Structure 1
Amino acid sequence: MEQFPQIALVVTAIFVLMSIPMAIAVGVRRTKTGISLLHGEDENLLRLMRAHGNFIEYVPLALLALAGAEIAGTPSWLVAACGGVLLFARLVHYFSLSTSVNGKGRAVGAALTTLAMLVLALAILWQLWIYS
C-alpha cells in the first residue's frame, strides 16, 4: 500500500468539517436579514463572512504545507504538532472574529497560524536540503 500523508489527511478532514458550519452560519444570517449579496449594513453578517473568508484564505495553503512536510519526511511528531496548532489557531481566530472585531483571540489565532506555516515551510526546505 502506498504511503499517504495520514496526519495531513486527518487534519484536512477536520478542517473540511469545520468549514461547513461556518458557511451555514453565513447563509442563516443572510436568510434572517434578507441580504443576498455583500453584507448590507449588517455588522454580524460582515463578521461571519470575514471569519469564514479568512479561514478559506489561509487553511488551503496551510494544509498544502502540512501535507508537503509530511510527504518530505518531516518527523510525524512535528507534523502532528503543527496540525494541532493550526486547528487550535483557526478555531480561536474564527470564534474571536465572528463575535468581535477587536478580539485578542484574532491576533493569537493569526500569530499561531503564521508560526505553524513558517515551521512547516522550513521543515519542507530542510528535508529537501538534507536529502538532496
Structure 2
Amino acid sequence: MVQVTGLYAALFALLYIGLAARIIAVRKRDRVSVGDGASRELERRIRMHGNAAEYGPLILLLMALCEMQATSAYVIHGFGIALIVGRLLHAFGLAPGDRNLKARMAGMFLTFSCLAITALILLYKGIVGGI
C-alpha cells in the first residue's frame, strides 16, 4: 500500500491544477488559444507547468516503488515534502516580473535530489534483494 505517496500525489495534483489555472488566466486575458502568443509571461507559465509534468510523475512513481519496498514512511515523507517544496520554489523562480534564480536553482536541486536518491534506493534494494 502506498498511503504516504498517495498524499503527495494528491498535493502534487492540486499544485499542477494551480499551475494550469495560471496559464488559462493569461490565455484568457491575452486571448491566446494556442502556443504562447509571443508572451514571455505565458511562456514562463507554460514552462512552470511543463517542468512539473516532466519531473513530478516520475518522482511520484519512484516514491511509490520505494514505499512498496518498505522504505521508511519518514523517508517517503521527506521525498514528498522535497518534491512539493521544490516544485513551488521552481515556479516562484520562473515567475514573471522579479525572477528569483536562487529559488529556481533550489527547486531544481530538491527535484533532482529526489530523483537521484529514490533511484539509488531502488537500485540498492534491487541488488540486496537478489535481482
Q: Distance in 2 between matches of 1:41 and 1:102?
A: 22
Amino acid at match of 1:95: F
Q: Does 1:62 align with 2:59?
A: yes
> 5 Å matches for 1:51-130?
51-99=48-96, 103-130=101-128
Q: Does 1:24 align with 2:6?
A: no
**Where does the alignment leave 5 or more consecutive residues of structure 2 unmatched?**
none
**Where does the alignment leave 5 or more consecutive residues of structure 1 unmatched?**
none
Q: Distance in 2 between matches of 1:64 and 1:119?
A: 13
Q: Distance in 1 between matches of 2:121 and 2:76?
A: 9
Q: Is the 8 A contact 1:73 1:127 kept in 2?
A: no
Given the two structures, how large is their TM-score scaled by the length of structure 1?
0.91
Deviations 1:17-64 (A, max 9, x none): 111111111011001101111112211111111111111111010111
Amino acid at match of 1:64: L
**Identity across matched positions, percent:** 31
Q: Is the 8 A contact 2:92 2:99 kept in 1?
A: no
Q: Distance in 2 between matches of 1:14 and 1:96?
A: 20
- Residue 101 of structure 1, CA deviation: 5.6
- Residue 127 of structure 1, CA deviation: 1.8
116-125 or 7-16: bigger deviation: 116-125
Given the two structures, how large is their TM-score scaled by the length of structure 2?
0.91
Q: Distance in 2 between matches of 1:93 and 1:7?
A: 23
Q: Distance in 2 between matches of 1:21 and 1:75?
A: 30
Q: Distance in 1 between matches of 2:54 and 2:95?
A: 15
Q: Distance in 2 between matches of 1:15 and 1:33?
A: 27
